[in-house]
Structure 1
Amino acid sequence: MSMNMFIGGACGYDNPYHAGFGAHTAALSGALFKSGESCGGCYQVRCDYRADPKWCLRGAAVTVTATNFCPSNNNGGWCNLPRHHFDMSMPAFFRIARRGNEGIVPVFYRRVGCRRRGGVRFTMRGQGNFNMVILSNVGGSGAVKAVAVRCSRGKTWHQMTRNWGANWQSSGDLRGQRLSFRVTLLDRKTMTFLNAVPSSWWFGQTFSSRGQFH
């Protein structure tokens, strides 16, 4: 695991703070990122004190949210396949490691549930009749597996496709309609968010729902 500071990135969250994730975030190596499937997921990371007692804080752990991708490089880097690597934000890194090292420590990790304040958020993106929605502040397992949308002019749920990262694309024109969403997480838990977005929505706006995964 290494230390880094980043905003935005391969999941599409322009700002992790505004997305509800706070300062404890990480970019994942390809073996963990899985082409964006892990975006929004939470991991508990613990420094391996036995392997590195000089730099690890004994018994310390931190929960981080996956918000970015740590790409491979041609020099045998830490994020190359098949390595499981976390490129962590500075605030998260120093919860488990002492200051003064080179920013690399051995860790244990496991998937954990995400605890979020408030409801799931839907940010409208795209232009014209090209519509994308990014989901953030998702609790439960955090990582979204499938999204369907229903417009106020119809009664049918239409499956969305992952465009990239946490951005989900619709094949239809969503403009000028109230939007409801059915969201399924990687652990198969599903919730319906009725009229989560009003008909007056426009690109760049974010809407917080009243529902949340637990």
Structure 2
Amino acid sequence: MAKKGALALAITVCFCCLFINGDAFTASGWTKGHATFYGGSDASGTMGGACGYGNLYATGYGTRTAALSTALFNDGASCGQCYKIMCDYQTDSQWCKKGVSVTVTATNFCPPNYDLPSNAGGWCNPPLQHFDMAQPAWEKIGIYRGGIVPVMFQRVPCKKHGGVRFTINGRDYFELVMISNVAGAGSIQSVSIKGSTTDWTAMSRNWGANWQSNSYLNGQSLSFKVTTTDGEIRIFQDIVPSNWAFGQTFSSPVQF
């Protein structure tokens, strides 16, 4: 927290956090794909990324993360989703570890490389369902020298420590809110924002997990209505106090 401009973490108590229950998110069936790794043995090269979560250690995602290929990333709508992945030992007994799995969160995008064929370097080219995993996560299921392995994967409910977090960036008439640490479905379908003296206003996805509003809300407490991709809704009433400043993160005690 010593660096100037580092995000300030403000732990707040939600005065009135409401929720509407739908059916809890459940795991999907198993699908075949492939997986590679990136970011180094300490996953330092995975920081940032196309979902906008920033420092993955600080935001709670750690080293169990993955970049998704075009077919899975869905233009950022899949950010925050969780996948259970196991190496397909029956297909590749040389480089797969048998009988183990790892669960990762989608935090980045693996771009296609159309200069290379899909079976020789263009692993993230459409329509391939591919995971470029943080190296520590990949090595839970594969042997380093293999480089790329066939996998079986399923989308599973996300389990997160603590509540949903809101990081407020932008300036004056532009609020850019990064929503992180979302459990359940993990990914967000829609967001609305409300100031203490304004009505609810729909936000739009700017990029990844960042949602924008073009309203002047300075000096107002802020509430959010968040709908995840499985239809679950939570209302975070006055989760951001009126003395908020750009660059701060506010944590809710409520989860999906």
Give the paired residue count.
Answer: 211
Q: Equivalent of 2:243, from 195, 200, 205?
A: 200
Aligned partner of 1:99 in structure 2 is 144
Given the alignment of the two structures, is residue 161 of structure 1 paired with residue 195 of structure 2, yes or no?
Answer: no
Given the alignment of the two structures, is residue 84 of structure 1 paired with residue 100 of structure 2, yes or no?
Answer: no
For residues 44-79 of structure 1, what are the alpha-carbon distances to aligned partners after superposition, in whole Å with 9 as ceiling and x for unaligned? 111000011111111111000000000011223100
Q: CA deviation at 1:158?
A: 0.9
Conservation of the 8 A alpha-carbon contact between 2:173 and 2:214? no
Aligned partner of 2:64 in structure 1 is 24
**Mapped partners of 2:167, 2:237: distance in 1:** 15
CA RMSD in angstroms, aligned pairs only: 1.0
Q: Equivalent of 1:3, from 33, 37, 40?
A: 37
Q: Equivalent of 2:230, from 178, 182, 187?
A: 187
Structure 2 CA distance for partners of 1:172 and 1:157, relative to 1, 3 Å: same
Structure 2 residues not aligned, in runs of 5+: 1-34, 40-45
TM-score (norm 1): 0.96
For residues 110-162 of structure 1, what are the alpha-carbon distances to aligned partners after superposition, in whole Å with 9 as ceiling and x for unaligned? 110000011100001112321110000100110011001111112x2111000
Given the alignment of the two structures, is residue 136 of structure 1 paired with residue 177 of structure 2, yes or no?
Answer: no
Conservation of the 8 A alpha-carbon contact between 2:172 and 2:217? no
Aligned partner of 2:196 in structure 1 is 152
Q: CA deviation at 1:10?
A: 0.8
**Mapped partners of 1:87, 1:99: distance in 2:** 14
Aligned partner of 2:116 in structure 1 is 75
Which secondary structure does the structure 2 equivalent of 1:147 belong to? strand
Q: Which amino acid aligns with 2:201?
A: H
**Misfit runs of 4+, over 6 Å:** none
Which secondary structure does the structure 1 equivalent of 2:71 belong to? helix
Q: CA deviation at 1:100?
A: 2.8
For residues 6-52 of structure 1, what are the alpha-carbon distances to aligned partners after superposition, in whole Å with 9 as ceiling and x for unaligned? 11111111111222212100000010000000001101111000011
Q: Which amino acid aligns with 1:91?
A: P
Q: Percent same amino acid at aligned positions?
A: 53
**Mapped partners of 1:171, 1:128: distance in 2:** 9
Conservation of the 8 A alpha-carbon contact between 2:51 and 2:209? yes
Conservation of the 8 A alpha-carbon contact between 2:84 and 2:155? yes
**Mapped partners of 1:147, 1:19: distance in 2:** 20
Deviates more, 1:180-189 or 1:192-201: 192-201
Conservation of the 8 A alpha-carbon contact between 2:163 and 2:253? yes
